[in-house]
Amino acid sequence: MSGIALVRKPGPRIAEGIVTHIERAPVDHERARHQHDAYVAALAAAGWRPVYAEDADHLPDAPFVEDAVVVSGRLAVLTRPGAPERRPEVESVERAVRELGLKAVRIARPGTLDGGDVLQVGPTVYVGRSARTDDEGVSQLAALLPERRVVPVGLRGVLHLKSAVTALPDGTLIGDPGRVELPGLLEPPEEPGAHVVPLGGDRVLLAASAPRTAAMLERRGLVVTRVDISEFERLEGCVTCLSVLIPDQQWRAPEFRGPDLVFHHRWTDRLS
């Protein structure tokens, strides 16, 4: 599998990002930039072509781009984040997905939905009921995705659903049963081990802070790419929230019309 990885560079105010369930710790902007570059390079090496949403240096949480949009097929559902200070992040993400040829729709007021609360596993879409996502947001998402089975999920003590559970390539849910109301979870040895990004086939991306989980997944036959995202973890971030992966079958490039589409090719400069 391959496709587009929608990402955004961390800005100089990243240390001011919202922290809810952990104590605030210092965040090194330069180190965060280097870690983000390495994260994007790992996605590119796995066949995901990075596309950068516009820089948003005035918005500290902007690199957590997953929270701004949910992509299903060729439909991009623009969210309405539960934290009001994060809502301006959505505008530039809308421009990015429209540039990619996706149809964009919105979660409307008064509903709230964060993309980090949305876990897509085959035909099923699990949606966390969190401090950032309310029942109205869940209902609107279900109405926008009539072909999918939308399942609300209760959470305890975590920011987002995908802070507690994600899915392996075969659909197995991996996560913390003490934090999420889902049965039959594969329980990882470390908290960051609940955050897995399937890269296609038997490949997955995992934070370097979960070495025992990496070993467990390798014993299951998976190929694990490890990335250090420690600066983002200080802000309750994880490997899932730093990108939105759009498989090739979901993505249709617009016809080339000249230099106005340089947006699609900027990633080569970013990795050089």
- Return the active site residues: 160, 241
Nearest C-alpha neighbor of 116 from the set 50, 177, 57, 68: 68
Amino acid letter for position 116 = G
Number of Cβ atoms within 10 Å of the Cβ of 9: 19
* DSSP codes, 156-221: SS-SSGGGTEEE-TTS-EEE-TTTB--SSPBPPSSGGGG--EEEETTEEEEETT-HHHHHHHHHTT
